Amino acid sequence: MFKNEEMEINLGPQHPSTHGVLRVKLRLDGETIKHCRPMIGYLHRGIEKICENKTYFQGQVWTDRLDYCSAVANNLGWAEANEKLFGITVPRRAQYIRTLLNEFNRLASHLIWLATHALDIGAMTVFLYTFREREDILDINEAFCGSRLTTTAFRIGGLREDLPPGFEQLVRKFLAKFPACLEEYENLLSENRIWKKRTVGVAKLNAEDAIALGVTGPVLRAAGVPYDIRKAFPYAAYAEMDFEVPTRTEADTYARYLVRLEEMRQSSRIIQQCMDGLPEGPVMAKIPKILRAEVNEVYHATEAPKGEIGYYLVGEKGSTNPYRFHIRAPGFINLQSLPKMVEGSLLADIVAAIGTLDIVLGEIDR
């Protein structure tokens, strides 16, 4: 009797599994999703507009608040885009420290992703494990710049200050214990029967669709496309680092989980190399106190934990603030693929799909 009736429901905006204020309008046939429409904008603060009315230096604090789980990666993209706009060469030591902090940030972001993703699906324990290690990374952030989450870590032209005393010991201590922690997570999840039932074959997105929809980051790499901006367009000190880009071909939630775990391993490798090969020298380029641009435009993309974060800047001659400040947020573009992932699957799978996209509404709504 109810055979042909479709039901429309709203997932969110106040729903714990939507990682913020995401609203997804779903049309269901029984438990099968027929139509899915993500609706965003609840956290829109107009960061692009604000940054266009601030000086080049002042933009950084706003980039912290895009994807607040990976503030350092946002800072790095911002700093490098500005350096490209002005033609600034950053000292090598600063490049190394930036790379190191960026990789720590990738670890922190992936840890929080693993925690919340597993929590959404129903595995509570992992949350407690990963937050333990994330705490250490936040302590390292704090030792470097005094702030734990919204770091404002870099400056245009390099860093504000060199590494503090005792920083290396903190890093070495973390590196010594982290591989064992990764094994713990794997023991908890990788062969867990419930975890596999909830993730294997769920929210598939093949390579062709992913490229057409502009999806980047681990989601694209889990579909078998080895596109990592750290390798494709090397920036900071990544050209000198030895690391691999993990890929999978299954293109499902489980593959993305494995890709991210492997990425964490590679990140700790990069951190090791940065710490071992840290060159001596200054950490700040010689630049004027007030930056005045020439007419120029840049699009600079870096590999944030979630995917490609790009900054598009247009400089106005003699002006101290950017004429146009645009952020290509990875989450914004990746979220577009949600309907493709979930249409035709069960309602419960959308929670896994949102988790595997690793969205943060701060950068999606900007």
For 107, 259, 263, 336, 343, the CA distances from 218, given in Å and listed in that order, are: 13, 6, 9, 15, 21
Can you say how many angstroms the Cα of residue 362 is from the centroid of all Cα atoms in its chain? 12
The interface mask with another protein, positions 78-117, x = CB under 8 A, is ------x-xxxx----------------------------
**Between 43 and 346, whose beta carbon lies closer to another protein?**
43
36 binds another protein (CB under 8 A): no
Of 25-33, 50-58, 74-82, 249-257, the window that binds another protein (rule: CB under 8 A) is 50-58
Using CB under 8 A, which residues numbered 310 to 349 contact another protein? 310, 312, 314-317, 319, 323-324, 326, 328, 332-333, 335-336
Residue 167 burial by Cβ neighbours in a 10 Å radius (0-12, 13-18, 19+)? middle
Closest by CA position to 307, among listed 286, 327, 288, 325: 327
Q: How far is the CB of 19 from another protein (least distance, A)?
A: 17
Who's near 152: CB < 8 A, 6+ residues apart?
60, 61, 64, 71, 75, 145
CB atoms inside a 10 Å sphere around CB 173? 12
Q: How far is the CB of 312 from another protein (least distance, A)?
A: 6
**Between 148 and 292, whose beta carbon lies closer to another protein?**
292
Encode 318-350: b = buried (16+ Cβ within 10 Å), e = exposed. Answer: eeebbeebbbbbbbbbbbebbbbbbeebeeebb
Q: How far is the CB of 341 from another protein (least distance, A)?
A: 14
**Between 178 and 332, whose beta carbon lies closer to another protein?**
332
Q: How far is the CB of 214 from another protein (least distance, A)?
A: 3
Instruction: Catalog residues that contact another protein under the rule CB under 8 A.
Output: 40-41, 44, 46, 48-50, 52-53, 84, 86-89, 157, 211-216, 225, 227, 232-233, 285-288, 294-299, 301, 308, 310, 312, 314-317, 319, 323-324, 326, 328, 332-333, 335-336, 365-366
